[in-house]
Structure 1
């Protein structure tokens, strides 16, 4: 029987032309893709998707994961976009974001495990650029929490760590990496920056693994010096539990999460802040006048001063709004089939909440595209805004929000207490940004003039 079947296949192969076979294979794959992409009733609308690749061309890949506003305007507040193997839902508008992330938070609590994450974590003076200077300072706070020590700014190992983090964030937003997430099986065999990303991640993981091994050498189970020691205690406590998630791999991943979330976001926001001050000297002067009135030139900045400094607080919030460092929020995943605003969302779909549209909504902000601290002021007092969600909302909102708010206030106020920031002579500053996992300003130089 098998011999007869083999003979039949061989006969068909010899009689059919290669072009016919390829055409038949293509038609079969096209039909399979059509069946695979069938959506249930009331599925969100969206632009026409191309076979196999989906809506890749509807993304502005030069800006990372960024959905152009014209797509949102055409198809509505809840739309469907497919990227290769990824089914995505884009949610725009405060009522719908709140309904998803708060009203039905149990249905949107997961984070999607995209292809790159699976590969990374589941496999065995004069004018100056403030970028790495600010990164150094902010990162050392995370170093104190995780490693139990600060690094000297000239420490080669520390500088290599910061450089790796920065390179990884840029590479992960590249076109090749976005294509890898959409078509992981194909991109595995193609050259591109995604392979460089994997190499750099492995190097970064080895760095953290070495720190963990050094901790073990002089580890005292009775006394936790830092995050790593505390995690080692949990590993020891659960060592006989085969289902425990406390292991070295998760410790490495958790430590890197702290570095990425705790360094890049705050550092990027501060760099936007200095840029906006240099571009808006009249606002910078008002901040400094408030600092001089409340703190003077010698008193150290603390969070206790924040309530007495509404204008400075408003400026920091406006930096976050205009900087818009996580344009589409950190992705969520639909945990069960869910109905949102009458649309059926399928379990496993990736959900993106459109913070860009929210933070630039003309119905919410008087001058949405202009840096204007008055957005957060009312009768001279600081005013909270419901439509301001840089740390997201719901169960998976940013765990480091309070630390980030504290860092932003202390760093920003301390810098403007001591310096005035201006553009270098004959250099024009701009609000251009570079493609990265965060929306960060393009490289720029500033002059920091002491306020003595």
Structure 2
């Protein structure tokens, strides 16, 4: 039904239009002519074409305009022009033929006012990478970077590009046949990025050298510099500037990618399972409340949250087959003689998906790590960080980070998917090296 406006009110609006100031008329005129928009029904000042369109807006009311103006025309909803595309050909040409130019998303003024721009859909990848990167930066450099720092952003992008290169089929082929490194390929870009990272790290090291106090080391670099000084007369020098740069780069690389990818996949699983999210938030409210930040002292009192994080790491199987090890000497193993230097590939996925330990391992189920009374249950099969002497050195730090990041997010925000949870497909994107979550967006709604 057309908007019910009394004749008197409509006459008044038309009178307003006829008596509108030159500024108001000029404003509508500017909108109408700006960018050579397609023609359409003439708008009234302030209200535009609202009086000529059925409310709620329907295809039938717009069809009336196509008879006069064709399949592409302009209407004014208030003082803002809106381009109308009507019919298959117009939509195909715009949305498919020039889809990248027609892909922006309008935000409701009401929603914008209510949320102040928060909760807007976003891809969490970069932010989740910045957090662990800054944590390891504090440990190594005793320095936090502003997330808008151009140098820091470039540093982060370099690490993200390294992952893309290392997980590519070409690099995996080169690893199997090193002779291919002589050919052109993405490995050359990899070496270039490593040089840029080295320059960044060396700059930070030189900054710290100026303030180094041998009797009061403050961070990883300080301790390493002191060790270099003590070992400088050692002919079998293991502590050197090159070694420090390489070690620092490795720490940044491992910390940034594995923690951020686990976090990103974890949030994705929580979007799929809102009932799990709700239980975590109940535990947060009961143990922590809303008036203080979570701390590691809370972890032992939050068995469900702990179980969820273990299940996330088990389920996603981030590194199904870690980088190969090798035997350090000849070894007898299960009746076989394994020569020194033999490459060893460990299939962690076979342990994390063992159905004797984890019933229905193909399902995401936090009860895999919960006892009958709801207490946290450890499992020797949990080898997300590998096992033995080559276990990940950052396991302790990573566990702390993931617990604190998750609880802080869910304490302050509700996670909102852009689709129905049942339509979310959590199948990983297999790269050969990593099992990564598909790209997605979500809304962080303030609680």
Structure 1 residue ranges without an equivalent (≥5): 1-124
Contact 1:153 1:159 survives alignment (8 Å): yes
Deviation of the 1:315 alpha carbon: 0.5
Please report the TM-score for the alignment, with normalisation by the length of structure 1. 0.69
Mapping 1:86-101, distance limit 5 Å: none
Match of 2:178 in 1: 184
Taking the aligned partners of 1:239 and 1:337, their CA distance within structure 2 comes to 34
- Conserved 8 A contact 1:333-1:351: yes
8 Å CA contact 1:358–1:387 kept in 2: the answer is: yes
Between the aligned partners of 2:193 and 2:432, the Cα distance in structure 1 is 15
CA-to-aligned-CA distance 1:185-227 (integer Å, 9 cap, x gap): 2x13322211111111121112112222222233333332211
| Aligned-residue offset at 1:180 | 1.5
- TM-score, with structure 2 as normaliser: 0.70
Distance 2:306 2:403 in 1: 7
Asked if the contact 1:169–1:437 (Cα under 8 Å) also holds between the matched residues in 2, the reply is no
> More relative contact order in 1 or in 2 (CA 8 Å, sep 6+)?
1
> Residue 434 and residue 126 in structure 1: after superposition, are their counterparts in 2 closer, same or farther (change >3 A)?
farther
Equivalences for 1:34-183 in 2 at 5 Å? 125-183=119-177
Which structure has the greater CA radius of gyration? Answer: 2
Match of 2:388 among 394, 413, 435: 394
User: Is the Cα contact below 8 Å between 2:322 and 2:433 reproduced in 1?
Assistant: no
Q: Secondary structure at the match of 1:395?
A: helix
* Corresponding residue number in structure 1 for 2:217: 224
Match of 1:246 among 239, 252, 261: 239
The structural deviation recorded for 1:352 is 1.6
Is the CA contact (8 Å cut-off) linking 1:434 and 1:442 kept in structure 2? no
C-alpha distance in 2 between matches for 1:216 and 1:209: 10
Tell me the distance in 1 between the aligned counterparts of 2:435 and 2:160: 13
Aligned to 2:446: 450
The alpha-carbon deviation at position 329 of structure 1 amounts to 2.8
Residues 24-51 of structure 1 show CA distances to partners (whole Å, capped at 9, x for unaligned) of: xxxxxxxxxxxxxxxxxxxxxxxxxxxx
Distance in 2, Cα, partners of 1:164 & 1:402: 25
Conservation of the 8 A alpha-carbon contact between 2:328 and 2:341? yes
Aligned residues: 326
Contact 1:129 1:443 (C-alpha < 8 Å) held by counterparts:
yes
Name which of 377, 381, 386 aligns with 1:383.
Answer: 377
Q: Indicate the SS of the match to 1:329.
A: coil
Other structure's SS at 2:388 match: coil
Residue 373 of structure 1 deviates from its aligned partner by 0.4
1:127 aligned counterpart, secondary structure: coil
CA drift at 1:365: 1.1
Mapped partners of 1:223, 1:402: distance in 2: 25
Contact conserved, 1:170 with 1:436, CA < 8 A, in 2?
Answer: no
Whether the aligned pair in 2 keeps the contact of 1:169 and 1:436 (CA below 8 Å) is no
What secondary structure sits across from 2:389 in the alignment? coil
Aligned match of 2:434: 438
